[in-house]
Amino acid sequence: MKKVIVVGEVREETKPLFEETGDYRFSFYQHNREISAEDLQEAEIFIGTPTPATVSRMPNLKWVQLFSAGANAVSDLPGHVVLTNAYGAYGPAIAEYMTACTLSLGLYLPEYLLAQQEHDWDRIGDPLDAASMKVLSVGMGAIGTAYTRHMHMLGASCSGVRRTVHDKPDHIEHLYASKELADIIGDYDAVALSMPGTAETTGMFDEAMLRRMKKGSILINVGRGSAIDTDALVKVAREGHFRGVVLDVTEPEPLPKNHPLWNVPHVYITPHISGRYISSANYDRVIAVVLENLKHAQNGEPFAHVVDRKLGY
């Protein structure tokens, strides 16, 4: 019977579902620091995000299953340890967040909320409706694909960018390789980032790339804050280059209370809430991915959603 450590917020009514997946012994914890020394010595499987200190105390560790889709937090796992993530579980909820933000900025809704507080009846500008938008998703995994599908259904012309060009969804008009981004980004009214945190994506949106974006365009980031040069964003956004910027992720994160980004006009920040696995919008799908892989392991079947350790996702 294999010992399994589960670290994270797991609802009491969900725990019996873990027990039904196979010949396992589970120990549930809220935090890495709570794990007993005995469990660390015995466990072969870790579900959640282990810290480096935790991994160093697990001599029998063979497999880590993440509750998250992003895998950069465990990039230093030993090579023999299999790493799987919850790819695909977050697409629907995060895509709805991105769609809502795109429509909101297109209609100037955040500005009208501020105007209401000033009892101001003046019109702010011409609305940008979905059917007239050209939308670019930088990142075409489950999240970017779901977002562009939503926007396409609303009438937007959607294109995508991925590391290499392959498997173009039917609702995408153009699919570009990452190396083409600088040449085409200025054509789009809304640019949404859902990229993983890798060496290749870090700093991709530097000052030069931000300035290549269309004047008055929308920028949304739900991937990793490291994709955008924060200092450059503060500079360019203060100049009024964007219609609006929505950040559900920042660099650094959490954003310090005295950081200048908080006070940049037309920049709207949420505290990494679109993809929280414990939220009702994501929880059941994430748990389903985890339970599926536990059953695969029990039956000696290939894992789903194995992370390519070289690519980082």
DSSP 37-98: HHHHHH-SEEES---HHHHHT-TT--EEE-SSS--GGGTT--TTSEEE--TTSSHHHHHHHH
Whether residues 123 and 226 share a domain: the answer is: yes
- List C-alpha distances in Å: 114 to 102, 120, 229, 246: 18, 9, 27, 16
Residue 302 CA to residue 32 CA, distance in Å, equals 27
Peptide bond into 254 cis (omega under 30): yes
pLDDT value at residue 300: 95
| Residue matched to tokens 């469990």 | 39
| Residue matched to tokens 């027990």 | 19
Whether residues 151 and 285 share a domain: the answer is: no
Domain annotation covers residue 274? no
Whether residues 106 and 253 share a domain: the answer is: yes
Domain annotation covers residue 8? yes
Domain annotation covers residue 307? no
Enclosing domain of residue 226: 91-269
- pLDDT in tens for each of the 313 residues of the chain? 999 999 999 999 999 999 999 999 999 999 999 999 999 999 999 999 999 999 999 999 999 999 998 888 888 899 999 999 999 999 999 999 999 999 999 999 999 999 999 999 999 999 999 999 999 999 999 999 999 999 999 999 999 999 999 889 999 999 999 999 999 999 999 999 999 998 999 999 999 999 999 999 999 999 999 999 999 999 999 999 999 999 999 999 999 999 999 999 999 999 999 988 778 879 999 999 999 999 999 999 999 999 998 888 8
Whether residues 70 and 162 share a domain: the answer is: no
Domain annotation covers residue 136? yes
Domain annotation covers residue 313? no
Peptide bond into 127 cis (omega under 30): no
Whether residues 22 and 121 share a domain: the answer is: no
Whether residues 112 and 256 share a domain: the answer is: yes
Domain annotation covers residue 172? yes
pTM attached to this predicted model: 0.91
Domain annotation covers residue 309? no
pLDDT value at residue 73: 84
- Are 178 and 137 in contact, with CB atoms under 8 Å apart? no
The CATH number of residue 131's host domain is 3.40.50.720
Residue 309 CA to residue 261 CA, distance in Å, equals 33
pLDDT value at residue 278: 74
pLDDT value at residue 311: 82
Is beta strand 157-162 parallel, antiparallel or unpaired with respect to 174-177? parallel
Number of domains in the chain: 2
